[in-house]
Structure 1
């Protein structure tokens, strides 16, 4: 089954690919084009991406795209509360695979801050995110439990994080089974992106999407908060 066979809302566009490499290259090309359009329109562009292992090929392809990277700001949809040097740091992942070569000229705004506790770190990240400006391109991922960014089902701050008009830009979040406390941008920030892409791979993620589309409670599956707005889904087996 292909993602285009799902009952998708009219505002959602599906892109099917036969391999992960083709998905990564197509997504990188589309993201770069959107960033170029933003640069032409106002002389600056902002890209927000998700971390984890899945986006590595996309990062590598995007880093090779012809762009005036010196005018691009890059940030993260979420982060583990660990130093950049830690193997699980999303900022570290970007520095290894995206912010290399010409793309190293981009301005990076990370979420991690050393602090006495997670809440204090989240408040500091909230202030940093305030300086991002409008998000031109947002690339999200999705977990098998329906989480996106670090908006996890069952996390204590999830209701606040899912508010469409909430005041907070970044909140402390907890993953129910995965180690490390998290920092996550909120729906009120993520939902304002001019272009949002959701990148997913494999039949498991297709089943998760099908389940998410079958219900309407974002508390149970936070990805639902983004499935009925303008969204491009990129999928491969």
Structure 2
């Protein structure tokens, strides 16, 4: 299967790259250009990224882009409920691989701070996100189960998180893998991004994407909620 074989919704663009290095380069170039345009028109730009291991090369390439980084606000689509010193922290990943050199001048708005409960941590993140300017660029990944950000199938708060007109910006979620406790931006906030990008690698992710484009409930594969225009998909084998 090739990405060109998929029946994509009108307005969704798919780009096939030869390998992960070219995908990281293309994605960093596209993100930097969108951020430059936002800064040129409104003076600032807001970027929301996902964590995990896949974005490391992209972060490193993006950090090398020539941008007025002090005018960029960066936040996270989701976070593991661990401190920034923990190896699984998405905030730590961004600080280690993106906020380097000139890019360190960007403002990072993290999600997780220790709290007495998951709900309290999510409420604190929700309040912090009230300061987040409108999202200019959103970079998402996708799991083999069709989750994106930390919107996992069967998570207790998924129905609330998937409300298109929901008022919460962040909710506590449960992942099937460790660390299970997560925070995630809700669909209402994610879908507000002016330019959403989806980056995936490998044939299994292409198979998952093909399934998500088929008929079925959004709750079964939450990525379905974002497979609509405007969206650019970046894929490599």
Q: TM-score, normalised by structure 1?
A: 0.99
Kindly provide the CA deviation profile for residues 98-151 of structure 1, in whole angstroms up to 9, marking residues without a partner as x: 000000000000001111011000000001111011000000000000000000
Give the Å deviation of 1:179. Answer: 2.5
Kindly provide the CA deviation profile for residues 1-56 of structure 1, in whole angstroms up to 9, marking residues without a partner as x: 32122111112100000110000000000000000000000100000000000000
Give the 3-state SS of the residue equivalent to 1:35 in structure 2. Answer: helix
Alpha-carbon distance in 1 for matches of 2:217, 2:11? 19
Give the Å deviation of 1:177. Answer: 3.2
Over 4 Å off, 4+ runs: none
User: What residue in structure 1 maps to residue 130 of structure 2?
Assistant: 130
Give the Å deviation of 1:216. Answer: 3.5
Alpha-carbon distance in 2 for matches of 1:41, 1:173? 36
Contact map agreement 1:146 1:208 (CA 8 A) in 2: yes
The count of aligned residue pairs is 237
Alpha-carbon distance in 2 for matches of 1:26, 1:5? 21
Alpha-carbon distance in 1 for matches of 2:22, 2:153? 31
User: What residue in structure 1 maps to residue 220 of structure 2?
Assistant: 220
Alpha-carbon distance in 1 for matches of 2:16, 2:196? 16
Note if 1:76 corresponds to 2:48.
no
1:77-92 superposed matches below 5 A: 77-92=77-92
Contact map agreement 1:154 1:176 (CA 8 A) in 2: no
Q: TM-score, normalised by structure 2?
A: 0.99
Note if 1:114 corresponds to 2:108.
no
Alpha-carbon distance in 1 for matches of 2:31, 2:12? 17
- Gap runs ≥5 in structure 2: none
Contact map agreement 1:99 1:106 (CA 8 A) in 2: yes
RMSD: 0.7
User: What residue in structure 2 maps to residue 46 of structure 1?
Assistant: 46
